[in-house]
Amino acid sequence: MNVLLGINYWMKKLFRGSFDVSSFELHKMYNIKIVCSSLLIIVFLSSCSTLKSYGKYEKRWAYVHPFAAVKLKRVKGKCDVIYKVVKDSNSLDKYENGGKLDAFRHMFYMASFANKISPEKVRKLGIAHEKDNYLAFLKNKDEEGETADSLSCEMDLLNNEVGIDLAKSIKKNFSIDQIKDLCLEKINAEQAYFMKRNSVGNYLTCEGTIINFNLYIKKWNVPKCLVRK
């Protein structure tokens, strides 16, 4: 159903008409419209495949931006390879949730995406991802080994913006490797956001107290603390 709604959306934009895909009469359409319809369906199927394992809001984003979704699938594949190298190098930290590595991931992917498609579309994708994280929280599902919370989502959105702003400041022909290096520089320059922890990795409040997570089971608001250094 969502796919049909997405096709309807793009058909109306292309042909400025209103029709029901289920009653679409091909013999009454011009050849160009038939070709465009076929291409749109192919792209939509590709975009659905791209995000088939993703959440409700990310899929909606793909239905509205099918061409961008297909393009980002290729970019993401390249980003995955570089991210794994950075992760395995232990040059930041080991925390894929709430740490510098988490901050790098959001900045790096968003900057790489926004270097290839509209930054506004990328921003909407990031927001969609955080909406899905909230739905996962309601279902008590983990992301990177931890349940999402309000400040984790805020951290992700802030780092997304750092990445998007970075993409706006560089040339379109920058390589993903160059973008990676710039993101690492941002972190070293204390321009990224991550959670305050002690030396053994326990989350701390802004006052420096270790957070007892037994008090916040199934709680969206947890008193973590965002820092930049």
**Over the stretch 108-150, which tens digit does the pLDDT of each residue have?**
999 999 999 999 999 999 999 999 999 999 998 887 678 999 9
- Predicted local distance difference test score (pLDDT) of residue 142: 80
- Per the DSSP assignment, residues forming a β-bridge with 142 are 147
Residue 205 near residue 211, CB atoms below 8 Å: yes
Q: What is the pTM of this model?
A: 0.79
Residue with tokens 């959306």: 9
pLDDT of residue 31 exceeding 60, the answer is no
The CA distance from 12 to 18, in Å, is 6
- Predicted local distance difference test score (pLDDT) of residue 36: 46
- Per the DSSP assignment, residues forming a β-bridge with 210 are 204
Q: Percentage of the chain surpassing pLDDT 70?
A: 76
Q: Please, what is the average pLDDT of the chain? A: 84
Please, what sign has the CA dihedral across residues 112, 116, 120, 122?
A: negative
- Predicted local distance difference test score (pLDDT) of residue 13: 55
- Predicted local distance difference test score (pLDDT) of residue 2: 52
| Selection from 44, 182, 45 nearest residue 112 by Cα | 182
- Predicted local distance difference test score (pLDDT) of residue 54: 77
Residue 127 near residue 106, CB atoms below 8 Å: no
- Predicted local distance difference test score (pLDDT) of residue 25: 53
Which tens digit of pLDDT belongs to each residue from 168-219? 999 999 999 999 999 999 999 999 999 999 999 999 999 999 999 999 999 9
- Predicted local distance difference test score (pLDDT) of residue 106: 97
DSSP assignment of the chain: -HHHHHHHHHHHHHH-----GGG--GGGS-HHHHHHHHHHHHHHHHHHHHTTTS-HHHHHHHHHSHHHHHHHHHHHHHHHHHHHHHHHHTSS-S-TTTSHHHHHHHHHHHHHHHTTS-HHHHHHHHHHHHHHHHHHHHTT-EETTEE--HHHHHHHHHHHHHHHHHHHHS-TT--HHHHHHHHHHHHHTT-S-EE-B-TT--BB-TTSPBP-GGGGTT-S-----EE--
Better pLDDT: 44 or 158: 158
- Predicted local distance difference test score (pLDDT) of residue 37: 43
Better pLDDT: 47 or 81: 81
- Predicted local distance difference test score (pLDDT) of residue 53: 66
Which tens digit of pLDDT belongs to each residue from 68-91? 999 999 999 999 999 999 999 999
- Amino acid, res. 227: V
- Predicted local distance difference test score (pLDDT) of residue 9: 56
Residue with tokens 């002690």: 198
The CA distance from 208 to 196, in Å, is 8
Q: Where does the pLDDT of residue 156 fall: very low under 50, low under 70, confident under 90, or very high at 90 and above?
A: very high
Q: What is the mean pLDDT of residues 17-35?
A: 49
The CA distance from 36 to 44, in Å, is 12
Say if residue 165 is exposed, middle or buried (CB neighbours under 10 Å; 0-12, 13-18, 19+): middle
Better pLDDT: 122 or 22: 122
